Amino acid sequence: MSQVLVSVMLMTLVTLSILGCSNSSFDAFIAPEVPETINAEAPSADMTEINISNDNVADGITPALVNLRIRSATGNPVEGVTMGISVSGPDNVVVPCTTSNKQGQSRCMIYTTRAGLKSLKLTGAFSLVSSVMFIAPKPLRSNFAFVSTAVDMRLPSGRRVIATSGITESDFIQKDSQGTLRLRSSVLSSIIND
């Protein structure tokens, strides 16, 4: 009987040792950690929505916003997807897309100084092609006025200029050979003299 008792105790210790318990503490059994499995669905190009802002101005300052809502084939939002973006044509600056959040939302931005229709391509887990329209900036208009007290300004007739005011209005915008915007302006002014 003592031989049977020793065998049972030995089998118990071996079993507990295999399960990760030490022979000095039998009051708690801690199961080994099992990594959590995430049931992530694959993103689908057919279910992904792309929204591009309207009235995008080609001023190099205002971005065109490209908003994505990345979804799976079953319509569920997909988190953790990062898409790449490329835009046709010169004079573009592209801000990379953010990684999609829990709602599947991601955002990219495009800046340009060249007006016109541009095609854009999104690549990554899938590919999407779309287009974005940029419009030329509106002509500028500015008012000015100054009073000269430190400088003795004179007209060709010799009369002294006391103050001047006016309006400049750009009536057309063009680009030079380096692509820099150039304005042709007219100046309407009045001069107060003595």
Same domain for 74 and 93: yes
Query: What total of structural domains would you count in the chain?
Result: 3
Q: Are residues 169 and 115 in the same domain?
A: no
What's the pTM value of the predicted model, to 2 decimals? 0.55
The answer on 123 and 158 residing in a single domain is no
CA 153 and chain centroid, separation: 51
- On the 0-12 / 13-18 / 19+ scale of CB atoms within 10 A, 69 is middle
- Tokens standing for 96? 């990379």
Candidate ranges 36-45, 112-121, 152-161; pick with highest mean pLDDT:
112-121
Residues 118 and 53 in one domain: yes
Q: What is the DSSP letter of 77?
A: B
Rg of the chain over Cα atoms, rounded to whole angstroms, equals 36
Residues 73 and 111 in one domain: yes
If asked whether residues 30 and 82 sit together in one domain, one would say no
- Cα 123 to Cα 82, 190, 193: the distances in Å are 9, 58, 66
Q: Does 107 share its domain with 182?
A: no
CATH number of the structural domain spanning residue 106: 2.60.40.10
Mark whether 78 and 118 lie in a shared domain. yes
Confidence of residue 38 (pLDDT cuts 50, 70, 90): very low
Q: Which two tokens stand for residue 76?
A: 């569920």
Three-class HEC string of 121-158: EEECCCCEEEEEEEECCCCCEEEEEEECCCCCCECCCC
Residues 16, 63, single domain; the answer is no
Residues in the chain: 194
- Tell me which residue range forms the domain holding 27: 1-34
**Would you say residue 59 has pLDDT above 70?**
yes
